Structure 1
Amino acid sequence: MTLFHNGTVWTGLSEVPVSDALLVADGVIAGLGDAARSAAAEGEVEEVDLEGGFLMPSFGDGHAHPMFGGLEYVGPAVRPCGSVAEIVEAVRTYAEAHPDEEWIVGASYDGSLAEGGLFDARWLDEAVLDRPVVLRAWDYHTVWCNSAALERAGITADTPDPELGEIPHRDDGSVLGTLREWGAIDLLTAVMPPQDEDVRIAALGTAADYYLARGVTWVQDAWVEPGDVDTYIEAARRGALRMRFNLALYADPRHFDSQVEHFSKVKRRVDQLGSPMLTANTVKFFADGVVENETGALLAPYCSGLHRHPGGQERSDSGEKVGMTVWEGDSLSEAARQIDDLGLQIHIHAIGDAAVRQALDAIEYAAEWNGPRDRRPVIAHVQLVDDADLARFAELGVIPNMQPLWAQMDALMTVLTIPRLGQERADKQYRMRTLEQSGAPLAFGSDWPVSSGAPLDGIAIAVSRQTSDGQPDGGWVPEEILTIDRALTAATAAVADQAFGEGVWGRLVPGASADLVWLDGDPRETAALDLPGLRIRGTYLRGAPAFTAS
């Protein structure tokens, strides 16, 4: 048995939010407060002195991409780069150090470093001319490549925009070197050699290292393709999964009819494996793209005349751009119905207000068709919601899984987002408090590696709506600021509920798994801007140390 004491124990329960001791036996919580001390007195106990710190349920991440995140550490280090020149130099340095690599692959460059997010292949040619270079942008919806990569993929000035993708061109008609959305990106990945399986399994280990050091023990991998399933299963067989993962299998409208049977087979394979670290209960849909490259689907057109805009996206009757609808007509509703009929959880990426409405319609249709059950559908991101759709989340039991770190006036927001939406519409983004107060079961995710996977980084924004330097005074759209208790709940118990894990983890109650994080201070008494500086002293999975600060 292990007794945690001499600190604050935050249970995550509204009726009894705090205690001063917690006992763990055989991986589960055996008691709190006096009951914990009494039980501890009856047997051999290892004591953990919290030293005045804060013990709470470990965090969950309700929407992320751990495979992508782990693989970022394998290629050129472009994420820290603050200019195009720095990226080019990082690629050059990596290529020189790895002369035997046939392709140079990396992520995630800052899409705001070039006007309109449009990057030229010739810039990368300065670093590497004789081998393909492929870099994913921070949003993972955009790729920047060199001329050799375009040549390998057979992309020329005559290549038409593919379904669900764009190929921007220079003024002279030649291909620029930026590819938008997976329809275009697939032209590259189709000719890229597969990564070594050991490298991919090691990437999951890197992701676990990252998450456990930040207090996270469960993550929703929100974009899983067939090869990824094989990697996860092999990692589980090797005992290489050191935290809990749930797989959301990617539904592609171009191939959905052939995918449905595959989804059922994957769930059976994972269930039969019987790993406590791996489930496959979810299917992931994309309803649109992202605002920053104008593929997020909007009810009203994007603001025009601000940047160069390649063609290929949907336009309103007036010819103005309204973004990209991934599933045409009622196809998303029909696909969601089929997934729901299999008993799998629906998880829909929806950024723009048109996409959010389509996602809500699809979930409503599936529920009406298949009848009542505990389905817990998820709409991820929910950047813009039309006023008429706000109440529908609570009415339909839809979980808005939101990324609080994005609700700030950073360079991404000011350079790429607001110019495309206009100020009035921009001020209605990330309405977390409005949704939470409507009764919607708000949960948090990070979208790592798109943005930081540290929950405290996002919570700091949720409770302040300010940048790290405290801007703007009083917070951006301050009426959407959450209380610290609601933000902590959104990152713990609410994610457990999303994962059908209530009673198992996410709250500190007797009988629950002892999935814990020990902070060196009380976040409820910490200034918002200081929250990211709270030190993670330890992370525990079923009572066993999974991370210990050195």
Structure 2
Amino acid sequence: MSATLFTGGVVWTGRHDQADTDAVLVVDGVVVTLGDDARTQGAQAETVDLAGGFLMPSFGDGHAHPLYGGLEAVGPAVRPCTSVDEIVLAVKQYAEEHPDEEWIVGASYDGSLAPGGLFDARWLDAAVPDRPVVLRAWDYHTVWCNSVALERAGITADTPDPVLGEIPRRDDGSVLGTLREWGATDLVMAVMPPRDEQVRIAALDTAADYYLARGVTWVQDAWVEPADVATYVEAARRGALRMRFNLALYADPRHFDSQVTHFAEQRRAVADAANPLLTANTVKFFADGVVENETGALLQPYCSGLHSHGMRNWEGDSLAEAARQVDDLGLQIHIHAIGDAAVRQALDAIEHVVRVNGPRDRRPVIAHCQLIDDADLARFAALGVIPNMQPLWAQLDALMTVLTVPRLGVERADKQYPIRTLDTSGAPLGFGSDWPVSSGAPFDGIAVATSRRTSDGEPDGGWTPHEILPIERALSAYTAGAANQAFADNDWGVLTPGASADLIWLDRDPRATAPLDLPTVAIRATYLRGAPAYRAENGADS
């Protein structure tokens, strides 16, 4: 038997009906008791002195892409680049340092660095003229290629825009080099050689390093294809997983009829790996694209009119029917919906499932919810739909001011990310990061949720300040809210007797920290089932 007593600091249980305490006793990875009882029963236990710090449930990330995030470290370092020239230089240097790599593959460049988010193949040709270069944008809905990559994919001036995709062109009709949405990006992805499996498994380890250092012990991988399932299963069999993952199997409207017949088989493969850290309980749908590409589906047209109302990936009632089939399998529905038209379609699909299949504990998720029509706000609570929000996005940063607001207009833009409105409506709010699209550090997102300001403090008083969320509600959305989404509310997400001891030890109380200072809260240690999964050097995370 292994027993640990955590004491000497403030303990936040994460339960709204329980006050703070100052001690937790953990036995064999499970919370046994709290407060005075913990000290009495844990008199002989190993003691962790919190040194005046703060202990709380660990975070969960309800929407992310950890495999992609881990793989970013393998290619050219384009994410930190602040100009097109910097990106091109990073690609050139990487290519020179890796002369034997047949394809140069990287992510995630900043789509706001070129007018309209449109990047020219010739810019990459100047760096690497003789090998294919493929870079994903930060949004993962867009790819920038050099000319060799376009040639390998057979994309020419005569190639029509594919279903669910766009191939932007120059004034003379030639292909520019930017590909938008799956129908177009898949043309290149289909001819790229697969990554070595060992590299992919190592990427999951890289992702675990990233997350555990930020206090996250569970992640919803929100886009998993069959090869990705195989990677996770192999990692699980090798005992190479160091945190909890739930997989969302990707539902493609172009191939759904064949895909759905394999979902149960893929779920079984995960179950057969018999690793408690890995589940596959969810199916991921994309209802639309993103506002920055003008592919997010809107009820009213974009200001530019270039793409009118955006793009719906599922026509007619096909999303509702596909969701019903997924629900028939007992799998959780998880729908990417950015625009208000996509959110309405997603809610309609879930309402259809409830009406046809009857009541059960299904906990459907709509991720992002960037824009919601007023008439649809109350439907989340009524249908029990979890709005999984990315709070970091609710700020007037360059992405918002350069790409988003001009496409939506100020009045409509000011209705984005109604986090507090949804929370007070009774919707079961959960948070996620969409890492590596944006930072996977929960405190980066919580800082924005509780201020609606940029890291520079702009604007004073916050953007749409009526949507500012109280700090404890923000913490809960990243802990108990994530556990609720994972059907794990009796297992982790709060500190209560019988729960898994998934914990984070902070250097100070985030509730007493100014919102803009929350990203500086240091994580001293992260515990999974009572065992340290991450420890900061010298007792503090730098």
What TM-score do you get using the length of structure 2 for normalisation? Answer: 0.98
Q: What is the CA distance between 1:426 and its match in structure 2?
A: 0.2
Match of 2:8 among 3, 6, 9: 6
Q: Counterpart in 2 of 1:429?
A: 416
Distance in 2 between the 1:130 and 1:269 partners?
A: 41
Is structure 2 residue 51 aligned with structure 1 residue 39?
no
SS at match of 1:183: helix
| 8-17 or 116-125, which deviates more | 8-17
Q: Counterpart in 2 of 1:332?
A: 319
Q: What is the CA distance between 1:489 and its match in structure 2?
A: 0.2
Distance in 2 between the 1:10 and 1:465 partners?
A: 24
Distance in 2 between the 1:233 and 1:268 partners?
A: 10
SS at match of 2:143: strand
Write the deviation string for residues 87-128 of structure 1: whole angstroms up to 9, x where unpaired. 000000000000000000000000000000000000000100
Q: What is the CA distance between 1:289 and its match in structure 2?
A: 0.2
Q: Counterpart in 2 of 1:456?
A: 443
Is structure 2 residue 258 aligned with structure 1 residue 271?
no
Q: Counterpart in 1 of 2:212?
A: 212
One-letter amino acid matched to 2:338: I
Write the deviation string for residues 390-423 of structure 1: whole angstroms up to 9, x where unpaired. 0000000000000000000000000000000000
Distance in 2 between the 1:228 and 1:283 partners?
A: 14
One-letter amino acid matched to 2:272: Q
One-letter amino acid matched to 1:358: Q
Is structure 2 residue 521 aligned with structure 1 residue 521?
no
SS at match of 1:412: helix
Distance in 1 between the 2:165 and 2:480 partners?
A: 37
Q: How does 1:289-328 map to 2 (within 5 A)?
A: 289-304=289-304, 309=306, 321-328=308-315
Q: Counterpart in 1 of 2:195?
A: 195
Q: Counterpart in 1 of 2:184?
A: 184
Distance in 1 between the 2:17 and 2:178 partners?
A: 53
Q: Counterpart in 1 of 2:369?
A: 382
Q: Counterpart in 2 of 1:142?
A: 142
Distance in 2 between the 1:138 and 1:16 partners?
A: 40
Q: Counterpart in 1 of 2:385?
A: 398
Distance in 1 between the 2:463 and 2:525 partners?
A: 33
Q: What is the CA distance between 1:494 and its match in structure 2?
A: 0.6
SS at match of 1:322: coil
SS at match of 1:7: strand
One-letter amino acid matched to 1:486: R
Q: Counterpart in 1 of 2:524?
A: 537
Q: What is the CA distance between 1:452 and its match in structure 2?
A: 0.2
Q: Counterpart in 1 of 2:540?
A: none
Distance in 1 between the 2:191 and 2:454 partners?
A: 41
One-letter amino acid matched to 2:6: F
Distance in 2 between the 1:215 and 1:8 partners?
A: 17
Write the deviation string for residues 425-456 of structure 1: whole angstroms up to 9, x where unpaired. 00000000000000000100000000000000
Q: How does 1:15-414 map to 2 (within 5 A)?
A: 15-41=17-43, 44-304=44-304, 309=306, 321-414=308-401
Distance in 2 between the 1:229 and 1:221 partners?
A: 10
Q: What is the CA distance between 1:45 and its match in structure 2?
A: 1.3
Match of 1:439 among 421, 426, 432: 426
Write the deviation string for residues 230-254 of structure 1: whole angstroms up to 9, x where unpaired. 0000000011100000000000011
Distance in 2 between the 1:184 and 1:20 partners?
A: 55
Distance in 2 between the 1:140 and 1:272 partners?
A: 31
Q: What is the CA distance between 1:188 and its match in structure 2?
A: 0.2
SS at match of 1:23: strand
SS at match of 1:6: strand
Is structure 2 residue 457 aligned with structure 1 residue 470?
yes
Q: Counterpart in 2 of 1:547?
A: 534
Q: What is the CA distance between 1:346 and its match in structure 2?
A: 0.1
One-letter amino acid matched to 1:522: D
Write the deviation string for residues 285-343 of structure 1: whole angstroms up to 9, x where unpaired. 000000001000000000017xxx5xxx5xxxxxxx11000000000000000001111
Q: What is the CA distance between 1:268 and its match in structure 2?
A: 1.4
Distance in 1 between the 2:199 and 2:271 partners?
A: 25
Q: What is the CA distance between 1:132 and its match in structure 2?
A: 0.1
SS at match of 1:545: strand
What TM-score do you get using the length of structure 1 for normalisation? Answer: 0.97
Q: Counterpart in 1 of 2:482?
A: 495
SS at match of 2:309: strand
Write the deviation string for residues 35-66 of structure 1: whole angstroms up to 9, x where unpaired. 1011112xx31111101100000000000000
Distance in 1 between the 2:156 and 2:505 partners?
A: 54
One-letter amino acid matched to 1:19: T
SS at match of 2:88: helix
Distance in 2 between the 1:62 and 1:77 partners?
A: 26
Write the deviation string for residues 488-526 of structure 1: whole angstroms up to 9, x where unpaired. 000000100000001100000011000000110100000
One-letter amino acid matched to 1:350: A
| 10-19 or 225-234, which deviates more | 10-19
One-letter amino acid matched to 1:191: V
One-letter amino acid matched to 1:39: Q
Distance in 2 between the 1:120 and 1:299 partners?
A: 31
One-letter amino acid matched to 1:212: L
Distance in 1 between the 2:194 and 2:419 partners?
A: 40
Distance in 1 between the 2:100 and 2:389 partners?
A: 41
Give the percent of matched residue pairs that are identical in Structure 1 and Structure 2: 78
Q: What is the CA distance between 1:272 and its match in structure 2?
A: 2.3
Q: What is the CA distance between 1:187 and its match in structure 2?
A: 0.3
Distance in 2 between the 1:397 and 1:441 partners?
A: 7
Q: What is the CA distance between 1:14 and its match in structure 2?
A: 1.0
Q: What is the CA distance between 1:159 and its match in structure 2?
A: 0.1
Structure 1: which 5+ runs fail to align? 314-320
Q: What is the CA distance between 1:542 and its match in structure 2?
A: 0.3
Distance in 2 between the 1:289 and 1:304 partners?
A: 17
Q: What is the CA distance between 1:273 and its match in structure 2?
A: 2.0
Distance in 1 between the 2:489 and 2:304 partners?
A: 46
Q: Counterpart in 2 of 1:316?
A: none
Distance in 2 between the 1:173 and 1:524 partners?
A: 56
SS at match of 2:203: helix
SS at match of 2:108: strand
SS at match of 1:323: coil
SS at match of 2:156: coil
